[in-house]
Structure 1
Amino acid sequence: VSSAISTISSRRASLGALQNRLESIIANLSTVTENLTDAESRIRDADIAAETANLTKYNIMVQAGVAVLAQANQMPSVALNLLG
Protein backbone atom coordinates (compact mmCIF):
# COMPACT_ATOMS: atom_id res chain seq x y z
CA VAL A 1 0.00 0.00 0.00
CA SER A 2 2.81 2.38 0.91
CA SER A 3 4.54 1.65 -2.39
CA ALA A 4 1.32 2.28 -4.33
CA ILE A 5 0.78 5.62 -2.55
CA SER A 6 4.35 6.61 -3.34
CA THR A 7 3.88 5.68 -7.02
CA ILE A 8 0.61 7.62 -7.22
CA SER A 9 2.20 10.66 -5.58
CA SER A 10 5.13 10.53 -7.99
CA ARG A 11 2.84 10.25 -11.01
CA ARG A 12 0.62 13.07 -9.74
CA ALA A 13 3.69 15.27 -9.41
CA SER A 14 4.76 14.37 -12.95
CA LEU A 15 1.28 15.09 -14.28
CA GLY A 16 1.17 18.39 -12.39
CA ALA A 17 4.50 19.43 -13.89
CA LEU A 18 3.27 18.40 -17.34
CA GLN A 19 0.07 20.38 -16.84
CA ASN A 20 2.09 23.46 -15.84
CA ARG A 21 4.25 23.14 -18.96
CA LEU A 22 1.20 22.76 -21.18
CA GLU A 23 -0.44 25.81 -19.62
CA SER A 24 2.75 27.77 -20.22
CA ILE A 25 2.84 26.64 -23.86
CA ILE A 26 -0.82 27.60 -24.33
CA ALA A 27 -0.19 31.06 -22.87
CA ASN A 28 2.86 31.48 -25.12
CA LEU A 29 0.90 30.41 -28.20
CA SER A 30 -1.87 32.85 -27.31
CA THR A 31 0.68 35.66 -27.17
CA VAL A 32 2.20 34.59 -30.48
CA THR A 33 -1.25 34.48 -32.10
CA GLU A 34 -2.07 37.95 -30.82
CA ASN A 35 1.27 39.33 -32.06
CA LEU A 36 0.75 37.76 -35.49
CA THR A 37 -2.74 39.22 -35.71
CA ASP A 38 -1.40 42.67 -34.80
CA ALA A 39 1.40 42.35 -37.36
CA GLU A 40 -1.02 41.28 -40.09
CA SER A 41 -3.25 44.23 -39.27
CA ARG A 42 -0.31 46.65 -39.51
CA ILE A 43 0.71 45.15 -42.85
CA ARG A 44 -2.81 45.41 -44.26
CA ASP A 45 -3.16 48.97 -42.98
CA ALA A 46 0.17 49.92 -44.52
CA ASP A 47 -0.92 48.47 -47.87
CA ILE A 48 -4.16 50.45 -47.77
CA ALA A 49 -2.25 53.63 -46.99
CA ALA A 50 0.21 53.02 -49.85
CA GLU A 51 -2.59 52.26 -52.30
CA THR A 52 -4.46 55.38 -51.24
CA ALA A 53 -1.33 57.44 -51.89
CA ASN A 54 -0.93 55.81 -55.31
CA LEU A 55 -4.56 56.49 -56.17
CA THR A 56 -4.14 60.16 -55.26
CA LYS A 57 -0.95 60.39 -57.33
CA TYR A 58 -2.61 58.84 -60.39
CA ASN A 59 -5.68 61.05 -60.03
CA ILE A 60 -3.44 64.14 -60.05
CA MET A 61 -1.65 62.82 -63.14
CA VAL A 62 -4.97 62.26 -64.92
CA GLN A 63 -6.14 65.77 -64.02
CA ALA A 64 -2.88 67.24 -65.32
CA GLY A 65 -3.26 65.28 -68.56
CA VAL A 66 -6.83 66.54 -69.01
CA ALA A 67 -5.63 70.12 -68.46
CA VAL A 68 -2.87 69.70 -71.07
CA LEU A 69 -5.36 68.27 -73.58
CA ALA A 70 -7.76 71.15 -72.93
CA GLN A 71 -4.98 73.65 -73.65
CA ALA A 72 -3.92 71.72 -76.77
CA ASN A 73 -7.51 71.79 -78.04
CA GLN A 74 -7.56 75.59 -77.69
CA MET A 75 -4.37 76.08 -79.71
CA PRO A 76 -5.97 75.81 -83.20
CA SER A 77 -8.58 78.44 -82.34
CA VAL A 78 -5.87 80.76 -80.98
CA ALA A 79 -3.88 80.30 -84.19
CA LEU A 80 -6.95 81.06 -86.31
CA ASN A 81 -7.66 84.19 -84.28
CA LEU A 82 -4.08 85.37 -84.85
CA LEU A 83 -4.36 84.75 -88.58
CA GLY A 84 -7.85 86.10 -88.99
Structure 2
Amino acid sequence: NIALNQALDVIEEGGFMILDSIATLAIYNDERTLKKFVKTVVEKCYSRKVKGIFICNNSKSMKELIEDIGPFFNQTIDSEKL
Protein backbone atom coordinates (compact mmCIF):
# COMPACT_ATOMS: atom_id res chain seq x y z
CA ASN A 1 0.00 0.00 0.00
CA ILE A 2 2.88 2.35 0.78
CA ALA A 3 4.50 1.65 -2.59
CA LEU A 4 1.15 2.22 -4.32
CA ASN A 5 0.72 5.58 -2.60
CA GLN A 6 4.26 6.58 -3.56
CA ALA A 7 3.64 5.58 -7.18
CA LEU A 8 0.39 7.54 -7.34
CA ASP A 9 2.08 10.56 -5.74
CA VAL A 10 4.32 11.01 -8.78
CA ILE A 11 1.44 10.80 -11.28
CA GLU A 12 0.01 14.22 -12.02
CA GLU A 13 -3.73 14.87 -11.92
CA GLY A 14 -5.22 13.70 -15.21
CA GLY A 15 -2.37 11.23 -15.72
CA PHE A 16 -2.80 7.49 -15.82
CA MET A 17 -1.42 4.28 -14.40
CA ILE A 18 -1.45 0.79 -15.89
CA LEU A 19 -1.84 -2.33 -13.77
CA ASP A 20 -0.76 -5.34 -15.80
CA SER A 21 -1.83 -8.01 -15.08
CA ILE A 22 -4.60 -8.78 -12.65
CA ALA A 23 -4.34 -12.43 -13.74
CA THR A 24 -0.75 -12.57 -12.49
CA LEU A 25 -1.79 -11.12 -9.14
CA ALA A 26 -4.48 -13.82 -8.98
CA ILE A 27 -1.81 -16.51 -9.07
CA TYR A 28 -0.21 -15.27 -5.86
CA ASN A 29 -3.24 -13.96 -3.95
CA ASP A 30 -6.59 -15.34 -2.93
CA GLU A 31 -9.64 -13.91 -4.69
CA ARG A 32 -10.91 -11.93 -1.69
CA THR A 33 -7.55 -10.20 -1.19
CA LEU A 34 -7.26 -9.46 -4.90
CA LYS A 35 -10.75 -7.92 -5.07
CA LYS A 36 -9.97 -5.75 -2.05
CA PHE A 37 -6.66 -4.65 -3.59
CA VAL A 38 -8.22 -3.77 -6.95
CA LYS A 39 -11.02 -1.83 -5.24
CA THR A 40 -8.46 0.09 -3.16
CA VAL A 41 -6.38 0.96 -6.22
CA VAL A 42 -9.47 2.14 -8.11
CA GLU A 43 -10.59 4.29 -5.17
CA LYS A 44 -7.12 5.85 -4.87
CA CYS A 45 -7.07 6.60 -8.59
CA TYR A 46 -10.49 8.29 -8.35
CA SER A 47 -9.51 10.35 -5.33
CA ARG A 48 -6.31 11.52 -7.02
CA LYS A 49 -7.99 12.08 -10.40
CA VAL A 50 -5.73 9.53 -12.05
CA LYS A 51 -7.03 7.30 -14.84
CA GLY A 52 -6.38 3.61 -14.40
CA ILE A 53 -5.95 0.90 -16.99
CA PHE A 54 -6.25 -2.56 -15.49
CA ILE A 55 -5.38 -5.46 -17.76
CA CYS A 56 -6.64 -9.00 -17.28
CA ASN A 57 -6.82 -11.92 -19.66
CA ASN A 58 -10.25 -13.20 -20.55
CA SER A 59 -9.69 -16.85 -19.66
CA LYS A 60 -12.38 -19.07 -18.18
CA SER A 61 -10.60 -19.04 -14.82
CA MET A 62 -10.76 -15.23 -14.70
CA LYS A 63 -14.39 -14.89 -15.82
CA GLU A 64 -15.92 -14.82 -12.33
CA LEU A 65 -13.30 -12.42 -11.02
CA ILE A 66 -13.87 -10.07 -13.97
CA GLU A 67 -17.62 -10.13 -13.31
CA ASP A 68 -17.02 -9.36 -9.62
CA ILE A 69 -14.59 -6.47 -10.09
CA GLY A 70 -16.24 -5.04 -13.23
CA PRO A 71 -18.55 -2.75 -11.22
CA PHE A 72 -15.49 -1.00 -9.73
CA PHE A 73 -14.73 0.52 -13.14
CA ASN A 74 -16.38 3.17 -15.30
CA GLN A 75 -15.83 1.06 -18.39
CA THR A 76 -14.62 -2.39 -19.32
CA ILE A 77 -13.38 -3.39 -22.76
CA ASP A 78 -13.39 -6.96 -24.05
CA SER A 79 -10.53 -7.14 -26.55
CA GLU A 80 -12.15 -10.12 -28.26
CA LYS A 81 -15.03 -7.86 -29.31
CA LEU A 82 -12.86 -5.14 -30.84
TM-score bracket for the superposition, by shorter chain length: under 0.3
TM-score, normalised on structure 2?
0.25
TM-score, normalised on structure 1?
0.24
* Larger Rg over CA atoms: 1
The structure whose RCO (Cα within 8 Å, separation 6+) is larger is 2
Flag the structure with higher helix content: 1
